[in-house]
A = this chain, B = another copy of it.
Amino acid sequence: MKKLKMGMVGGGKGSFIGDVHRRASRIDGMVDLVCGAFSSDPQRSLESAEELGVAPERAYKSFEEMITKEKELPEGERMDFVSIVTPNHMHFPPAKLALENGFHVICDKPVTLTLDEAFDLQKVVKKSGKVFALTHNYTGYPMVKQARLMIQNGELGEIRKVVVQYLQGWLSTAVEETENKQASWRVDPKKSGIGGALGDIGTHAENLTEYITGKKIEKVAADLSSFGAGRVLDDDGNILLRLEGNTKGCMTISQIATGEENNLGIRVYGSKGSIAWYQENPNELTAYWLDKPKQIYTPGGNGTYEESTAYTRVPPGHPEGYLEGFATIYRSFVKEVVSVMEGNAISERPDFPTIHDGLRGMQFIYASVASNDNNAAWVSLKED
């Protein structure tokens, strides 16, 4: 087993998502964190490095410094890939620089601050010949894999309807006026882009929909709201969906759904059967049928495909959670990087979200905002 060396951009002390990436990267024992530009504050970056067991000389002041200095290190010592866990406006610059300097990249979502940046990044990725993964982590759950496979295999028949939700309540009050750093950048268009909840959680809902159904969202009609006083970005939205092949759908997202924690859920209705999955209880997949009682699938449990069981790490009844789903993205990314390092061609359709998914997400944000600006008229997501 080859272990890869990871450099991290962002994720200093107190960061939520940086800590998640690190834990996820460890679970399968395939990654070592060797360096980082953990914070724009050099002292903070140094302290983070110490806490994380990273050598102080590899705690860099900036991502530019990290990429430059690491590149100078001998092969086998320098980092193999960069993990980007900064706010949205700081995705594109380090991703571009890393790729252009020969480093593979795994990046948090949404992929960039703007749609234009996403198009640019797509070109950079293509040109670089490096692996780029986007952490739409919810696609890493075994029951999400199972659902996707059941649809691919035609078990549900023709897909007619999708109902998808992503409901949180953490912005129900004006937390951005407290010490909450998460909240303050999430509501700031300079750091988040033109989507608020849309970018943070709407893109997850969009990605999960396309991943599970295997169908693209073609059009949206979006009614967005900003319930928080003074907020310029959306903190809530209800969106009609039209997908390829006459599939209809609706999506509801919110960060002001008081009391909701992280209630991502999807139901897909087909002519022969249907499925329902909810992230807060991710080890259950409910399947409904035309003429059989509904069934509860569990990871590795009776009746699941071998292809979905491959994504479990423990036996049935031993719940896996958010970190394990996230770890699956890392594992698949690492496998692909190792394969490429061994001289193989980059996979056409790797087993993790790519720049393509990133672009779809940005298209979704832009189409939704455009629709909302036009009184919820239908707006098409452009092909990419």
Contacts and interface: CB of A to CB of B under 8 A. Distances in A.
16 contacts: A1-B51, A23-B28, A29-B33, A161-B256, A172-B271, A257-B274, A258-B269, A258-B290, A259-B289, A260-B317, A261-B315, A263-B317, A280-B317, A281-B283, A281-B319, A319-B321
A300 to B, nearest CB: 9
Given A223-B221, A294-B295, A27 B23 contact: yes
A182 to B, nearest CB: 9
Contacts of A315: 16, 261-262
Interface stretch (A127-135, A203-211, A370-378): A370-378
Nearest to A273: B258
A156 B257 CA distance: 11
Given A238-B241, A293-B304, A319-B319, 19 more contacts: A156-B258, A161-B225, A169-B290, A172-B290, A221-B376, A225-B248, A238-B249, A256-B269, A257-B274, A258-B290, A259-B287, A262-B316, A279-B317, A279-B319, A280-B317, A282-B319, A291-B303, A293-B301, A320-B322
A114 interface: no
B168 A259 contact: no
A325 B282 CA distance: 16
Interface string A274-310: 1000011111000111111111111001111000000
A70 to B, nearest CB: 20
- Interface size band for A: 35 or more
A259, A282, A301 — most chain B CB neighbours (10 Å):
A259
Given A20-B314, A52-B29, A274-B260, A296 B298 contact: no
A208 B332 CA distance: 36
A240 B221 contact: yes
A259 B288 contact: yes
A227 interface: yes
A173 interface: yes
A88 interface: no
* Copies, count: 4
Contacts of A262: 315-318
A254 interface: yes
A323 interface: yes
Interface string A146-175: 000000000011001101010011001100
Contacts of A53: 1, 3, 29
B1 A261 contact: no
A290 B23 contact: no
Nearest to A16: B315
A291 to B, nearest CB: 5
A223 B279 CA distance: 27
A317 B167 CA distance: 10
A169 to B, nearest CB: 7
Contacts of A287: 259, 293
